[in-house]
Each structure stands twice: as structure tokens, then as C-alpha cells.
């Protein structure tokens, strides 16, 4: 009985320590911000792993999400910088006033920072000194900004190398038929066929093996035929509608036309189709994503401390609808 009482007291002391780890402004601000970061990160990860996109379309979406994450850093400390249409930190900016007033998802906040229960270490003393001079908002926003910047830097450097970027632009020239159709409207198919032919030959031979064995003059001839037929196929489409067309659909028109579109320009269509599937980044993105995941298995079980912290966090998971593994 005595041992049981001692054990209960020890558990109560541990529970109090874990409670202080969580029920403080710094932790709650970080949790809210992480929900926003992971929400944007999740969208980015989903986009780069889609297989029904042309290489340049995937890269453009990737770049767009990178720019959004950069924007997140700039407007983190001030919601007014987000703009009228969208808040880049919906959870953080919404929860921040309540947290600073001592409430977070129905829970009372009892400290500004996590209390150091062990005071006689250099790290603990340094942390206490930092806490005394740094507001929880400044501390949280510095960490959130650093994490967002790290994710942007890591993804940009790891997923698209310099060689990959060069290949993306090469495939863009071959497969972006929507832009090509718009250029035809502006310059005419005859002039555009002459202006683009040499570049098309150079890129097509770099991308497609079958095209390499064909002499340049023949590819130029076929390219001019292709441009003329693309002009004919899109001339009745209004410009606003043409601008919104997906290049994949224009490629499909040449493949499913029954022959009247691709006969006579087979090598051009061959190069375009090869370019459309030339490169993917799903496996590269997946390996980079794994660097940020926490893996658990029966051989690597969670510690009692992690389980207790997770039990405290459970009411907060509804904030983002996803687990915040980085915590």
C-alpha cells in the first residue's frame, strides 16, 4: 500500500510536469502555427506527387506553393499583411489573441514559457535566461519562421536540382501547347513555325531517342505541319477559353484524332508525348518527406512521456485535422 501511494505521488508529479510543458503560451502558439505550416506543406506534398500533370504544370504548382510559404514568413507577425482574401496563418492568427488572454481550446494557460524542472544544467540556465528576456510570441514566431524557411529551402534544393530545372523548361517548350496556340494567334503559324523549328529540333533530339535518328530537315518540315494543324484546330476557340485550356487535352486531340492530325508529323507528336512523361519527382519528394516524419513500430515503441504528452494533445488535434509529428 505504501509503495502504491509513493507510485501515485510520483505519477502525479510527472503529470504536473507534463501539464506545464503544454499549458504555456509558447507551446500553444507553436502548436497553432504548426497546424498552419503542415496544412500548407500537406497541399504542396500532394501536388508534387500527382501523376496526371505535365512536368511543367507540376513545377509551376510547386513554385506557387513555395511562394505561398515564403509569404507566410512575411506575414507571420501581423495578420494585416496576409491581405483581404486569405489568411496565411488561419489557426495561428485566430488563436493568438485567446492564447495571450490565457485560454486555448477551452484550456487555461498557466505559464508564458515551459518551466524548467531541472535548473542545474547549462542548457536549463540558458533557457531560463532566454525566457526572462524573450516574449512567448517572439520565441514562437522565430521558431515558426525558421521552420517554414527550412522547409522551403530543403524542398527547393532537394526536389528540383539544376539539371531537373533545365529538363522542366525543355519539356515546357514541347508540351505547353496552350501557350503555343496563343503565340500562333499573335504571330501566325507560318512565322512561328520558322522561328521555333530549330529550337524544337534541338530539344526534341535531347529528349526522344527515336527523333535522334531523323534528319533535322525532316523534323523541321513536320514541325511546320504540326503548328499549322494546331492553328486550324484552335482557331475557332475564343481567346479567354483558349487561355484556360489544359495542354494535356490538346495533346490528346492529336492522339485521338483518327490520324488526320498526327499523320505527317509523327516525329513531332512522338517528341511531345515523350516529353509529357519524361520526368517525375514523386519518389524524390517522397524521400524528402520521410525526413520530416516520425516513425513508430513495435520494435521502437513510444516512451511513457511521449504517451502522456500525446494524451494531453489529443483535444488539440482537431485544430488542424492532422498529427503534428514535429512536436
Cβ neighbours for 188, distance < 8 A, ≥ 6 positions apart: 231
Residue pair 175/255 in contact by the 8 Å Cβ criterion: no
pLDDT band at 216 (very low <50, low <70, confident <90, very high): very high
**Are 248 and 126 contained in the same domain?**
no
User: Is 297 within the bounds of a domain?
Assistant: no
Range scoring the smallest mean pLDDT among 8-17, 46-55, 163-172: 8-17
Three-class secondary structure of residue 138 per DSSP: helix
**Are 40 and 155 contained in the same domain?**
yes
Check residues 116 and 266 and name the one with the higher pLDDT.
266
User: Is 208 within the bounds of a domain?
Assistant: yes
pLDDT tens, residue by residue, 37-90 = 989 988 888 888 888 899 999 999 999 999 999 999 999 999 989 888 889 999
Average pLDDT, the chain: 80
Given a cut of 80, whether residue 258 has pLDDT beyond it is: no
Q: Among residues 109, 139, 135, 113, which one has the least CA distance to residue 124?
A: 113
Number of domains in the chain: 2
Tell me which range, 5-14, 114-123, 132-141, is most confidently predicted by mean pLDDT: 132-141
User: Is 40 within the bounds of a domain?
Assistant: yes
User: Is 301 within the bounds of a domain?
Assistant: no
User: Is 61 within the bounds of a domain?
Assistant: yes
User: Is 151 within the bounds of a domain?
Assistant: yes
Three-class secondary structure of residue 300 per DSSP: strand
Check residues 293 and 167 and name the one with the higher pLDDT.
167
User: Is 308 within the bounds of a domain?
Assistant: no
Domain extent, residue 235, equals: 165-277
Check residues 240 and 105 and name the one with the higher pLDDT.
240
pLDDT tens, residue by residue, 274-303 = 999 887 655 555 555 555 554 444 445 555
**Are 146 and 190 contained in the same domain?**
no
Cα–Cα–Cα angle for 3, 9, 11, nearest 5°?
A: 105
Given a cut of 70, whether residue 134 has pLDDT beyond it is: no
User: Is 95 within the bounds of a domain?
Assistant: yes
**Are 137 and 210 contained in the same domain?**
no
- Which DSSP string corresponds to 15-65? HHHHHHHHSBHHHHHHHHHHHHHHHHHHHHHHHHT-SSS-HHHHHHHHHHH
pTM: 0.73
**Are 124 and 201 contained in the same domain?**
no
**Are 25 and 145 contained in the same domain?**
yes
In angstroms, rounded to a whole number, what is the distance separating the alpha carbons of residues 222 and 171? Answer: 18
**Are 216 and 129 contained in the same domain?**
no
Given a cut of 50, whether residue 317 has pLDDT beyond it is: no
So what's the pLDDT on residue 274? 93
**Are 50 and 139 contained in the same domain?**
yes
Given a cut of 60, whether residue 108 has pLDDT beyond it is: yes
Range scoring the smallest mean pLDDT among 14-18, 96-100, 211-215, 265-269: 14-18
**Are 29 and 74 contained in the same domain?**
yes
**Are 24 and 91 contained in the same domain?**
yes
Given a cut of 50, whether residue 119 has pLDDT beyond it is: no
**Which of 159, 193, 210 is a domain's end point?**
159
Amino acid at each position: 500500500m505504501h509503495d502504491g501511494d509513493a507510485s501515485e505521488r510520483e505519477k502525479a508529479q510527472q503529470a504536473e510536469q507534463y501539464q506545464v510543458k503544454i499549458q504555456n503560451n509558447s507551446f500553444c502558439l507553436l502548436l497553432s502555427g504548426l497546424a498552419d505550416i503542415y496544412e500548407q506543406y500537406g497541399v504542396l506534398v500532394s501536388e508534387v506527387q500527382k501523376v496526371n500533370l505535365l512536368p511543367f504544370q507540376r513545377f509551376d504548382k510547386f513554385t506557387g506553393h513555395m511562394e505561398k510559404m515564403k509569404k507566410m514568413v512575411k506575414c507571420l507577425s501581423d495578420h494585416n499583411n496576409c491581405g483581404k482574401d486569405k489568411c496565411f496563418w488561419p489557426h495561428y492568427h485566430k488563436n493568438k489573441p485567446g492564447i495571450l488572454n490565457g485560454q486555448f481550446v477551452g484550456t487555461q494557460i498557466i505559464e508564458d514559457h515551459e518551466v524548467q524542472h531541472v535548473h542545474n544544467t547549462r542548457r536549463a540556465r540558458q533557457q531560463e535566461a532566454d525566457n526572462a528576456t524573450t516574449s512567448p510570441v517572439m520565441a514562437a514566431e522565430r521558431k515558426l519562421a525558421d521552420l517554414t524557411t527550412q522547409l522551403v529551402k530543403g524542398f527547393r534544393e532537394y526536389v528540383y536540382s539544376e539539371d531537373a530545372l533545365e529538363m522542366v523548361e525543355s519539356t515546357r517548350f514541347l508540351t505547353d501547347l496552350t501557350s503555343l496556340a496563343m503565340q500562333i494567334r499573335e504571330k501566325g503559324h507560318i512565322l512561328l513555325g520558322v522561328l521555333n523549328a530549330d529550337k524544337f529540333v534541338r530539344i526534341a533530339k535531347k529528349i526522344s531517342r527515336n527523333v535522334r535518328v531523323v534528319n533535322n530537315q525532316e523534323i523541321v518540315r513536320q514541325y511546320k505541319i504540326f503548328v499549322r494543324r494546331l492553328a486550324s484546330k484552335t482557331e475557332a476557340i475564343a481567346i479567354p477559353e483558349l487561355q484556360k485550356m489544359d495542354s494535356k487535352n490538346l495533346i490528346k486531340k492529336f492522339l485521338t484524332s483518327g490520324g488526320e492530325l498526327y499523320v505527317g508529323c509523327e516525329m513531332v507528336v512522338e517528341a511531345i508525348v515523350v516529353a509529357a512523361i519524361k520526368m517525375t519527382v514523386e519518389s524524390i519528394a517522397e524521400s524528402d518527406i520521410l525526413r520530416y516524419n516520425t516513425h513508430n513500430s513495435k520494435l521502437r515503441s513510444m516512451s511513457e512521456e511521449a504517451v502522456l504528452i500525446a494524451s494531453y494533445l489529443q483535444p488539440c488535434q482537431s485544430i488542424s485535422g492532422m498529427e503534428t509529428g514535429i512536436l
